[in-house]
């Protein structure tokens, strides 16, 4: 479609089969961008792209495995082949988290996959996208999805370490690419059910009670912020920063007050 805030843009979105990634891919396509949805889940990813095409949007699915050594580079090359150019990169892919993966519970393979998909994926995709944008004179934009865990550990050492590293990757990319008119930012979501985050109903209620807004977030909540960061109309002078989208859950003091 010709109309929309992102008309003329070409976007690659990872982790787009479900959750936050899918929500972001949807809003970008509906705002006029041509979008490649990328994910390891071919069934759900293909369905997500099909649904957008059913709305008349320009969306294609590309299967990928970002945990492999060549996965990120191969994905970017595939997206470029489909789109011809990439002006927007959103990296939202992350392996599913398991609460048993504590310091003494997470094994080496799980640690390696989490850092590969999140941290190495962010760097390699950001580097390749930045190189392409710089060489083609594209004033591109990137959003990398991190987490509150980047600043606050909570029994998921591999996830927290990966997200903390991604925060610095965002800053390094923003500093290197800023002189070329390319903006790079991060979004740190709070508790957003779906995708990599799942909890029992009782856990959902407990978490919702801890937020200032009294509810958990949705992929659409995060997607709206992503759209603002990726649109020069709203964020032309914003780069190298992290925007928290958590409904105020980080305001909660997890330590009980001392007894009177």
Q: How far is CA 51 from CA 10, 22, 37, 79, 124, in A?
A: 18, 11, 12, 19, 29
Residue 204: which pLDDT band, with cuts at 50, 70 and 90? confident
Nearby residues of 130 by Cβ (< 8 Å), 6 or more positions away: 140, 142, 173, 176, 177, 180, 182, 184
Span 145-166, pLDDT tens digits: 999 989 888 789 999 999 999 9
Judge whether 237 counts as a catalytic residue.
no
pLDDT over threshold 50, residue 1: no
Domains and CATH numbers, the chain: 10-249 (3.40.50.720)
Q: How far is CA 242 from CA 82, 146, 147, 167, 239, in A?
A: 30, 8, 10, 8, 9
Per annotation, catalytic residue among 61, 123, 159, 197: 159
Residue 202: which pLDDT band, with cuts at 50, 70 and 90? low
Percent pLDDT > 70 in the chain is 92
Task: Round to whole Å and give the CA distance between 231 and 178.
Answer: 16
pTM of the full predicted structure? 0.93
pLDDT over threshold 70, residue 196: no
């Amino acid at each position: 479609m010709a109309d929309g805030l992102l008309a003329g843009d070409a976007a690659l979105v990872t982790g787009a089969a479900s959750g936050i990634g899918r929500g972001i891919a949807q809003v970008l396509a509906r705002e006029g961008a041509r979008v490649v949805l990328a994910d390891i889940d071919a069934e759900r990813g293909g369905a997500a792209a099909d649904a957008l095409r059913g709305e008349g949007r320009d969306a294609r699915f590309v299967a990928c495995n970002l945990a492999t050594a060549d996965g990120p580079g191969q994905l970017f090359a595939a997206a470029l082949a489909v789109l011809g150019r990439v002006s927007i990169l959103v990296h939202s892919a992350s392996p599913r988290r398991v609460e048993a993966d504590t310091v003494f519970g997470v094994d080496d393979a799980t640690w390696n996959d989490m850092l590969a998909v999140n941290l190495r994926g962010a760097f390699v995709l950001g580097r390749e996208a930045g190189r392409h944008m710089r060489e083609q004179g594209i004033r591109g934009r990137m959003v990398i999805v991190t987490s509150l865990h980047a600043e606050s550990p909570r029994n998921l050492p591999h996830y927290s370490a990966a997200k903390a590293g991604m925060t610095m990757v965002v800053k390094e990319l923003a500093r290197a690419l800023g002189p070329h008119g390319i903006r790079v930012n991060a979004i740190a979501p709070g508790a957003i059910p779906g995708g990599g985050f799942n909890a029992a109903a009782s856990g959902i209620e407990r978490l919702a009670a801890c937020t200032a807004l009294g509810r958990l977030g949705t992929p659409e909540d995060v997607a709206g912020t992503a759209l603002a960061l990726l649109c020069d109309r709203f964020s032309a002078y914003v780069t190298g920063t992290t925007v928290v989208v958590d409904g105020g859950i980080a305001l909660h003091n997890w330590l009980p007050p001392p007894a009177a």
